[in-house]
Amino acid sequence: MKRVIARLDIKLNRLIKGIHLEGWRFLGDPKPFFMDYYENGIDEIVYIDSISSLYNRDSMKELVSETTRNVFVPITVGGGIRSVGQAHEMLRSGADKVAINTGAIKNPELITEVAKNFGSQCMVISIQAKRVAPNKWEAYIDTGRESSGKDVIEWVREAVDRGAGEIFLTSVDMDGTTKGMDLALIEAVSKEVDVPVIASGGFGKPMDFVDACKYADAVAIAKQLHYKKATIQEIKKLALQNNINVRFEE
């Protein structure tokens, strides 16, 4: 069963969208967006906090809490989580999972700790992958701005060995371009580990979901959903036509 996930990048309680994780544009109040996705059969919602300040973390908690009043599908929250305590705050606010990138690269022990405290299913390792050579990617931190120097494949292996239960894999190169996903990246990561892989970055049309799901377990979509260039229903219909099992009810 493959999943269609809505990715909502958040800045100060507003939905935003950029290109290559930069050049953000404000789209407004996230509520009408998440309500629309819920009513149209989204399988999961991922919030990514684009500026991880103390102030923003509080507003993110409020947003997650508000979402759980109306949305009864899993919610993942990422962005700026640096400690077990901060992960716990998000889970208490209604998140089902936390996605951690920078905090885990700077302190890989955080993965182990979060998995130990809340279970591997809560601990999503978020990877921002930038291609540096054919079939070679480097893990970026601080919202795709800075290289960590870590090889993505090696880092994914370590993260899973430490207890990460799922991988949220963003292609920095393809993010916001709507030109299709980095299939070589998705394939390479999916083949390296046995945990579910959520592919993100570059979705342009429903067929991109079908292509990515050859390896990925889920695709996270932002821009094309926010700008209503693709609907959840048409993506799922196309998936079913291509013998990809998805949750679908007319």
Nearer to another protein, 1 or 133 (CB): 1
Is 250 one of the binding residues for another protein (CB under 8 A)?
no
Nearer to another protein, 110 or 218 (CB): 218
Report the alpha-carbon distance of residue 166 to residue 156 in Å, rounded. Answer: 10
**Cβ of residue 247: shortest distance to another protein, in angstroms?**
4
Is 158 one of the binding residues for another protein (CB under 8 A)?
no
Is 58 one of the binding residues for another protein (CB under 8 A)?
no
Quick one: which of 6, 73, 169, 239 contacts another protein (CB under 8 A)?
A: 73
Task: Using CB under 8 A, count the residues that bind another protein.
Answer: 31
Is 68 one of the binding residues for another protein (CB under 8 A)?
yes
Is 165 one of the binding residues for another protein (CB under 8 A)?
yes
Nearer to another protein, 4 or 105 (CB): 4
Q: Considering only 65-73, 98-106, 126-134, 136-144, which stretch makes contact with another protein by CB under 8 A?
A: 65-73
Nearer to another protein, 24 or 248 (CB): 248
Is 119 one of the binding residues for another protein (CB under 8 A)?
yes
Is 217 one of the binding residues for another protein (CB under 8 A)?
yes
Quick one: which of 138, 166, 208, 211 contacts another protein (CB under 8 A)?
A: 166
